[in-house]
Amino acid sequence: MSPTELAYRKTALAGASGFGLLIALYDTLAGDLRRAASAERANDIEKRCKEVNHALLVIAHLEDAIDRGSDGELAQQLRAFYSSLRRKMIEAQASRSPEMLEEDMARILEIRAAWQKAEMGGAAFTAHVPGWVQTPSYPGSSLPMRERSSSSWSA
């Protein structure tokens, strides 16, 4: 990111609402995956790994933003989305598939659009995670699986 882009982002975020900050994280996440896919196509494994690692850090921050005391439907759907996204990103790296990274980016942009709609619509908006998000479960069980997430990230 150029110094001009960085200064622009800092200025834009200074007055951003909670939704604005959330949207900025989704923008960052989508950009990370776009650059990772591009790096994969260029066979630049180091850059791809750097971008995917940053995307994983952003996902950890998004997970931390979910109210830990909330077990509402949206919180559960978002946890499932972030878990699924992490899994798919790792699978894309193992498969060396820029297309899979771009599919992940499209999913991120779909959720980002929902948050943007929420910001514009205020209280009239009911957040909804798309149907392709599945809550993972233990094999042979109907109980949802809870992944342990760590909040000990440092940058």
Q: What is the mean pLDDT of the chain?
A: 77
Give the start-to-end residue ranges of the domains of the chain. 18-122
Tens-digit pLDDT profile for residues 13-45: 555 567 788 888 999 999 999 999 999 999 999
Check pLDDT > 80 for residue 154.
no
Q: Is the per-residue pLDDT at 106 higher than 60?
A: yes
- The answer to whether the CB of 89 falls within 8 A of the CB of 58 is no
More confident residue, 152 or 73: 73
pLDDT of residue 74: 84
pLDDT of 138 reads 34
Backbone torsions φ then ψ of 145, nearest 5 degrees: -90, 135
56-89 pLDDT, tens per residue?
A: 999 999 988 886 667 788 888 888 999 999 999 9
- Nearest Cα to Cα of residue 114 among 103, 104, 129, 124: 129
CATH dotted code for 18-122? 1.20.120.340
